[in-house]
Chains A and B, each alone.
Chain A
Amino acid sequence: MKIEFTQDKISIEDKVISALDRFVLDFIRLLEKYTDYVIVSGYVPILFGRSRGTEDIDVLVKRFDETVFIRFYDSLIKKGYYFLNPEDVHGLYEMLGEGLGIRAAKKDTIIPNVELKFVKNDYDDFSVDKKVKVVLGDKKYLFISPIELEIPYKLYLGSDKDIEDAVYLWDIFKDKIDLTVLNRFMKKLNVSGVEHGIGI
C-alpha cells in the first residue's frame, strides 16, 4: 500500500473504486454543500482495504438549521435517494435533533445506506474538528475521523468485528499516526490494545 500521510490528509493513488466507494462519494458530494461532515466507524477500515463489506456508512454532521436540512433533503430526493425512516422532512429533522440516526439509500434499495447523525459529544466534535481528508484521485475525496480516535473507539465498541477493525487500522497505520494522541484517547475511553499490540 502506498499512501501519503500527513496530520490532516491521506492520499491513496491508483485505488480501484468499489461500488460502495461510489455510493459514499456520490452521497458526500451532495452533503458537503450543506454542512461539515465526517465518516466514522466501519467504512474507515474498509476504505483502507479491510476485506469486508458493510450495510451502512456512519456519517456525523455538525448541527444545522431545519431550513438547511430541507434544502439538503430536496436535493437528495432529486438525485434519486429516499429515507428509510417513514417520517416526513420535519420528523426526520426532529429525529436528528433528538440524537437519533436517520438512514438514506438509493431509491428501491436498502443496502448500502448512510446513517446520518448530529454530533453529540466531545469525541464527535473532535472527529469533525480534526477531520482527515482522504484523496482517492481526481476530484474523489472525503473526510474521515482521525485514525488516532477510530482505533480506541473501535476497541471501546468492543464486538469481535470492531476489535478486528481496530487491529487492522493499527497494522496499516502504526508507523504513521500520533501515538500520544492515540494513547490519550485509549485512556479517556478506558480501553487497552495491549493484548493486540496496539499503542505500544
Chain B
Amino acid sequence: MELVFDRETNRRERLWFVHYYASWVRKVPNHVWSREQAKLIDSLVLNARNFNLSPEEYLKMKENGSQVRRKR
C-alpha cells in the first residue's frame, strides 16, 4: 500500500484550524482559553524533561536547522 501525503491539503487544514481556534479564543473569557492552553504547554514542558540530547547535540541540531531557515 502506498502512503501519500498531500502537503497542500494538510497546510489548508492547519490554516483552517488556526482561524477556527483564534475565533474561539476571541469569544471566550481569558481564564477559559488560557487554562486550556496552560494544560497543553505544561504537559509539553514536563515532557521536555525526558529530552535525551546533550546541550552540545541540541546546539548542533539547532545550528543545522537555522541553516535551512531564515532567522532573525
A binds B: yes
Report how many A-B pairs have Cβ atoms within 8 Å.
122
Given A84-B58, A111-B48, CB of A12 within 8 Å of CB of B69: no
Which residues between 18 and 72 of chain B lie within 8 Å of chain A, taking CB atoms?
A: 18-19, 21-23, 25-31, 33-38, 40-42, 44-46, 48-49, 51, 53, 55-56, 58-59, 62, 69-72
Alpha-carbon distance A13/B30, docked complex (angstroms)? 7
Alpha-carbon distance A167/B49, docked complex (angstroms)? 31
Majority secondary structure, B binding face: helix
Q: Which of B33, B58, B59, B72 contacts A124 (CB 8 A)?
A: B72
Cβ of A16 and Cβ of B38 under 8 Å apart? yes
Cβ of A112 and Cβ of B48 under 8 Å apart? yes
Cβ of A18 and Cβ of B29 under 8 Å apart? no
Cβ of A49 and Cβ of B31 under 8 Å apart? no
Given A53-B41, A110-B55, A167-B18, CB of A1 within 8 Å of CB of B70: no
Residues of B within 8 A of A (CB): 11, 14-15, 18-19, 21-23, 25-31, 33-38, 40-42, 44-46, 48-49, 51, 53, 55-56, 58-59, 62, 69-72
Cβ of A179 under 8 Å from chain B:
no
Cβ of A58 under 8 Å from chain B:
yes
Cβ of A19 and Cβ of B40 under 8 Å apart? no
Closest to B41 in A: A18
Interfacial chain A residues near B70, Cβ < 8 Å? 156-158
Alpha-carbon distance A124/B71, docked complex (angstroms)? 12
Alpha-carbon distance A144/B19, docked complex (angstroms)? 23
Alpha-carbon distance A171/B24, docked complex (angstroms)? 11
